[in-house]
Structure 1
């Protein structure tokens, strides 16, 4: 979003689409040409290992990007395809890569919501869910997948989506964090696919781990990852405080809260900001701090609980 001056963002990411960049031994990255307000310069796919390799997050339904990835591993064997989560900018190219390589697909599972939809809710257009995706192997938190010279541990990080997973390479002090942590922006948490309670717990889980260098689904790598995560946790707590401050002046709907909190936001991100506010409100209602008539939904009006 636009107003996160409290987080040390880095928006310097000169990588060009289709170029293969080795960022450290055993880690290459390739940028897809799908820039947007939600994807920054595009989705970053990773090639892990040498000789017998894994491709992590093959990206959107994009033939040119699939070709760039396959060209990058020419003469090597792709043994694993790993997917952090099922948004349409991360998983749809899986089919192309699998067809070309015969590699086994690993992920937490198919797309699912963090909670059942309420009767009054329409389909959330911000979710961009890839509902066609299904892994060959469903991973649980703590499970390990390995190849020639690399070993990744699945780290459940729900919040951005219910099935989001990061993949840690403890020996290298590296973590592939998908969209859970990004160096250029905060993540969108949009109910019912996303959950603020889960997202905050997942941030705490990452912050307690040893990996220092984070490779993200969009934008540049993040040094001192756990320290950066602490900034994100503080930011979300400050966002919650801003919501409560505004509700202290009287009841409000979500558009009113967005106007009060997100000063100078890119107009294209207003809907997403509304869903992020809803994620906070769901949490606050569940904790009994805020009340609303009926279910906490995007069209609701909210007030402080007395």
Structure 2
């Protein structure tokens, strides 16, 4: 177990940022830590990196206790904070060499992480000359210098353009094949593209903890159909896997099914068997974004 959090709570004055949080993260695994602004994501990250201490609870990172063994925790993780702190007047290799000396890792490791993070074309530039995407790569390279088992990434894709997003996403997916990656974000598409599992936090409490594969299997589906005649809801509820039927207006119905399988053929067959004409027939899946909104809207 790479990360194990038990009953963590954190207060800022009278404001409760985290309330009795517990979860585990395996190795290797990429886990997305989601929540609206102010939900407690960055606070949890800072606790795991030993930057701040909780009021209650405990946490182990790579088997090291955040209270009793903070140095061991720090040495065993790679951390990329939300606001990536870099010395803009330093060259990439100079900056990485400075940090390699702190970690006491061989100089060859600098070249390894430069290649791994795709910095080779820019490695002779000052950090201040780099785009936001390449600065994120420098932050990732620095986090990887000492070859940690756990990477903690706080909003690693914020502010990147579409091309940069794809590059950083692919890099994180590659890293996640052999390491634990625990990343916070509020971008649903990034989670669906990168993560094995998602933990959703709202107002300091975990409201969901699911594998992405299970979430996809659990997905609901809504079929929007317009007939040429009114149909009683009770008849539509006889369709397989129906959980809800709404007559939104006129002869238009929203039929929700407890499956991600395309159920439009069943609706078509229903119309045919009951001598109804279909004027429109559309499908929409209830995505991670919809689930996020449902769980964090209150």
TM, length-normalised to structure 1: 0.28
Q: Kindly indicate which of the two structures has a greater share of residues assigned to strand.
A: 2
Q: Which of structures 1 and 2 has the larger relative contact order (alpha carbons within 8 angstroms, sep 6+)?
A: 2
The structure whose Rg is larger is 2
Q: Kindly indicate which of the two structures has a greater share of residues assigned to helix.
A: 2
